[in-house]
Chains A and B, each alone.
Chain A
Amino acid sequence: MDTSIEAITATSELKARVESDQLIDYLLHLADNALILGHRNSEWCGHGPILELDIAITNIALDLIGQARHFYQYAAELINQPDVTNRKASPMGGGLEGATEDALAFLRDAKDFKNCLLVEQPNGDWGVTVMRQFFFSTWQYYLYQHLQNSNDKRIAAIAAKALKEVTYHVRWSSEWVIRLGRGTEESNAKMTNAVDVLNQYSGELFTPADYENVAVREGYGADLCTIKHLWVQKVKETFQDATLAFLLPSNDHILQLFGKIGEHTTHLYELLTEMQFLQRTYPGAQW
C-alpha cells in the first residue's frame, strides 16, 4: 500500500464538503466500480483460456482491488471524522461506528453500492469479459486523467497512481478486442455478441448521478460530457481496427435501473452474498 497517498489527510475545507455527503458518495462510487469489476475478474483466476491470459486478468483484478482500497480508506477516514455532523444517513445504511475499508466493502447492502451496472454483469465468455474491460478501462482512463488534477489532493494522488495501471488495462483490452474482432469468424461473432450484451450498460457511464454533478461543481470530480466524447472516439477507432460495428452508448437501461444510485441487477446481490459471507456470518471477527 502506498503510504504517501494515505498521508494526505482531509483539510478543514474538505470537512465542510463532507457535510453534504456528496464527496463520500463520490468516493464510494469510484471504489465500488473498482472493487466489483476486480471481483468479477478475479473469478477467472484458474479458469482463463490460456495461462498468460489468466495471469493478465488477475493482474487487472489486483490493480482494481488496490484502487478500491485507496478510495475506501479515504472514504472511511471522512466518515469517521468526529466533527462531521448533519449527515443525512450513514453510507453504511445505518449507524455503523468506525468505518473501515472492509466495513465499507463487506457490510453495506447492494442498495448502498454505487457502481455502474456494467461492472456487475456476469463474466460471460472471454469475449464479454474483454469487452467489458475495454468499455470500463477506457472510461476510467479518461476519468482518472481528469481526476489527477482534482482539487482534492487525495483523489488526485490516487488517480495519478492508478492511471499508470489503467493505461495498461486500456492497452491490453483494446489489443484483445482488435485481435479477437479480426481473428476468426467465430471470434468475430463472439465479440459482436459481447457488444450486443454490454452496450446497454455503456450509457450509464456518462449519465451523472447528483453526487457526480456536485463533484464537478466543487472541482474535485470530472465532467462526464468531456469523457464521453473521448470515449466514443477511442471505442470507435478500436472497433474500426477490430472490424466490429460501433454503436453509440445506449441509455436504454435508465428506464429501469441506475446502478450509481443503488439500483442494481440481481447479479450484484448474488455477488455480494458470496463476497460478504464470512464477514456477515461471523460478525466482529478479525481475519
Chain B
Amino acid sequence: MQVTDTHFQDKINADIKVEPKEWMPGKYRQTLIRQISQHAHSEIVGMLPEGAWITRAPSLKRKAILLAKVQDEAGHGLYLYSAAETLGITRDEMVEQLHSGKAKYSSIFNYPTLTWADIGAIGWLVDGAAIINQVPLCRTSYGPYARAMVRICREESFHQRQGFEILLTLSKGTQAQHDMAQDAINRWWWPSLMMFGPPDDDSPNTAQSMQWKIKRQSNDELRQKFVDICAEQVKALELTLPDDKLAWNETRGHYDFGEINWDEFYQVISGNGPCNKERMTARVKAWEDGAWVREAAMKEVIGQ
C-alpha cells in the first residue's frame, strides 16, 4: 500500500467524505463510476415498466400520481448522472455504455408489468427493496453520491407508500382485484429479493467496497432486513408472499426464507430476462429519435 492509499483509508476510517477534486485510488473511482452509473441507468430503464401504465391508469388521481412518480425517477437519474460526472465521465459516455451493454442496470426492470397491480407491487416491493439498499448509501464515503442519495431516499419512501396503498385498495376490492394483487406479488417477490445482489460469499466486490465505505452493509444483511419488513407488512395487506419456507425464527430473531433461484438471476443479468431486449430497444430508440433535437440544442449553445 502506498502512502496516499494509507492516507486515503485513514480519511475513510474517520468518516470524512471524499470530494470530487480530492485524490482517490483509481479503483475507488472506477468502482463508484460503475455503481453510480448503474444506479442512474436503473432509474432510467425503470421508468419503462411503470411508464407503460400511465396511459392506462384507472383514475385521474392514480394517473397523476404515477406520472409524478415516474418523473421523480427521471429526476433521480439526473442527480445520479451528475454525481457520476464529478468522477470524470460524461453522461453521453455513460449512455453509450448502457446501450452497448457494457454498463448494467438493475435486473428487476427486465420483468414485464402485466396488470395494474404490478404498479402497486413495484412500489411496495421494488421501491421498498431500493430504499433498504439506498438508505445506507446516504452515508456512503463519496460526498456527491451520498448527497444525491439523501434526496432520492426522501422521494422513494413516498413511492413505496403509494405502492402499498394501491395493493391495499385492490386487496380490499372485488375478488378479481384481490386476485390481481396476489398475482402481482407472486411474480415480483423473488425478483425483488434478487435486487440485493448475489449472496455475500459470491459477491466479489463487497469486501473492498465495505472497506472504502462505499457499501456499508452486506447484500445478505440488507436482504434479511427486507424480508423481515415485508413478512409483516403483507399481513396488513391480507395477502401472502409466495414462499412456503417463510417462517419466524425465534433463535435468529429473523424470518427464515426459501432458496433464491440464482440461476434465474444470472440468466436475466446476462440478457435472457423476459424484457431485456425490449427495454434496450426502447432506450436506444428514444436516444436515436432524439438525436436531431440534441444536435439543434447544442448548436445553439455553441453558437452563443
Do they bind each other?
A: yes
Selected interface stretch from B26-34, B53-61, B134-142: B53-61
Decide if B297 touches A42 in the complex (CB within 8 Å): no
> In whole angstroms, what is the CA distance A72 to B60 when docked?
10
> In whole angstroms, what is the CA distance A36 to B176 when docked?
29
Q: Which of A49, A182, A184, A277 has the most CB of B within 10 A?
A: A49
Decide if B296 touches A45 in the complex (CB within 8 Å): no
> In whole angstroms, what is the CA distance A233 to B27 when docked?
59
Interface size on B, residues (CB 8 A): 46
Residues of A within 8 A of B177 (CB): 282, 285
Residues of B within 8 A of A285 (CB): 58, 173-174, 176-177
Decide if B70 touches A46 in the complex (CB within 8 Å): yes
**Min distance, Cβ A136 to any Cβ of chain B, angstroms:** 18
Selected interface stretch from B9-17, B73-81, B146-154, B247-255: B73-81
Q: Which of A62-90 contact B (CB under 8 A)?
A: 62, 65-66, 68-69, 72
Q: Which of A54, A55, A274 has the most CB of B within 10 A?
A: A54
Residues of B within 8 A of A51 (CB): 44, 74, 77-78, 81
Decide if B47 touches A184 in the complex (CB within 8 Å): no
Known: A55-B74, A59-B71, A183-B299. A46 touches B56 (CB 8 A): no
**Min distance, Cβ B244 to any Cβ of chain A, angstroms:** 31
**Min distance, Cβ A3 to any Cβ of chain B, angstroms:** 15
> In whole angstroms, what is the CA distance A161 to B78 when docked?
29
> In whole angstroms, what is the CA distance A287 to B115 when docked?
13
Residues of B within 8 A of A277 (CB): 56
Selected interface stretch from A101-109, A140-148, A211-219, A221-229: A101-109
> In whole angstroms, what is the CA distance A187 to B295 when docked?
9
Q: Does A126 contact B (CB under 8 A)?
A: yes
Residues of B within 8 A of A287 (CB): 58-59, 62, 116, 166, 169-170, 173
- Which B residue sits closest to A47, measured CB to CB? B286
Q: Does B260 contact A (CB under 8 A)?
A: no
> In whole angstroms, what is the CA distance A179 to B297 when docked?
7
Q: Does B68 contact A (CB under 8 A)?
A: yes
Decide if A286 touches B60 in the complex (CB within 8 Å): no
Q: Which of A268-282 contact B (CB under 8 A)?
A: 274-275, 277-279, 282
**Min distance, Cβ A257 to any Cβ of chain B, angstroms:** 23
**Min distance, Cβ B67 to any Cβ of chain A, angstroms:** 6
Residues of B within 8 A of A278 (CB): 56-58, 116
- Which A residue sits closest to B172, measured CB to CB? A286
> In whole angstroms, what is the CA distance A171 to B296 when docked?
18
Q: Does A43 contact B (CB under 8 A)?
A: yes
Decide if B58 touches A46 in the complex (CB within 8 Å): no
Decide if A45 touches B51 in the complex (CB within 8 Å): yes
How would residues 229 to 261 of chain A score, 1 for a CB under 8 Å from any chain B CB and 0 otherwise?
000000000000000000000000000000000
Chain B contact residues: over half helix, strand or loop, or mixed? helix
**Min distance, Cβ A27 to any Cβ of chain B, angstroms:** 15
> In whole angstroms, what is the CA distance A53 to B177 when docked?
36
Q: Does A48 contact B (CB under 8 A)?
A: yes
Q: Does A125 contact B (CB under 8 A)?
A: yes
Interface size on A, residues (CB 8 A): 47
> In whole angstroms, what is the CA distance A106 to B212 when docked?
53
Q: Does B89 contact A (CB under 8 A)?
A: no
> In whole angstroms, what is the CA distance A35 to B55 when docked?
11
Decide if A58 touches B60 in the complex (CB within 8 Å): no
- Which B residue sits closest to A102, measured CB to CB? B59
Residues of B within 8 A of A182 (CB): 296, 300
Residues of A within 8 A of B67 (CB): 42, 45, 58, 61-62, 65
Decide if B55 touches A47 in the complex (CB within 8 Å): no
Decide if A282 touches B55 in the complex (CB within 8 Å): no
Q: Does A190 contact B (CB under 8 A)?
A: yes
Known: A43-B55, A52-B78, A278-B58. A180 touches B48 (CB 8 A): no
How would residues 264 to 304 of chain B score, 1 for a CB under 8 Å from any chain A CB and 0 otherwise?
00000000000000000010011001111111110110000
Q: Does A50 contact B (CB under 8 A)?
A: yes
Known: A105-B60, A278-B116. A48 touches B296 (CB 8 A): no
Q: Does B63 contact A (CB under 8 A)?
A: yes
Q: Does B246 contact A (CB under 8 A)?
A: no
Q: Which of A25-53 contact B (CB under 8 A)?
A: 35, 39, 42-43, 45-53
Q: Does B114 contact A (CB under 8 A)?
A: no
Q: Does B236 contact A (CB under 8 A)?
A: no
Q: Which of A156-207 contact B (CB under 8 A)?
A: 179-180, 182-184, 186-187, 190
- Which A residue sits closest to B166, measured CB to CB? A287
> In whole angstroms, what is the CA distance A282 to B299 when docked?
51
Decide if A184 touches B295 in the complex (CB within 8 Å): yes
> In whole angstroms, what is the CA distance A275 to B64 when docked?
13
Decide if B176 touches A282 in the complex (CB within 8 Å): yes
Residues of A within 8 A of B174 (CB): 282, 285
For this complex, 5 residue pairs linking A to B, each with C-beta atoms less than 8 Å apart, are: A105-B60, A180-B293, A184-B299, A187-B293, A287-B169
Q: A180-B296, A187-B293, A285-B174 are in contact. List 13 more A-B contacts (CB 8 A).
A: A47-B286, A47-B289, A49-B289, A50-B297, A51-B44, A51-B77, A52-B78, A55-B78, A65-B60, A106-B58, A183-B299, A274-B55, A278-B58
Listed from nearest, the 10 A-B pairs whose CB atoms lie closest are A49-B290, A183-B296, A187-B296, A46-B47, A287-B58, A46-B51, A278-B58, A49-B293, A58-B71, A47-B286
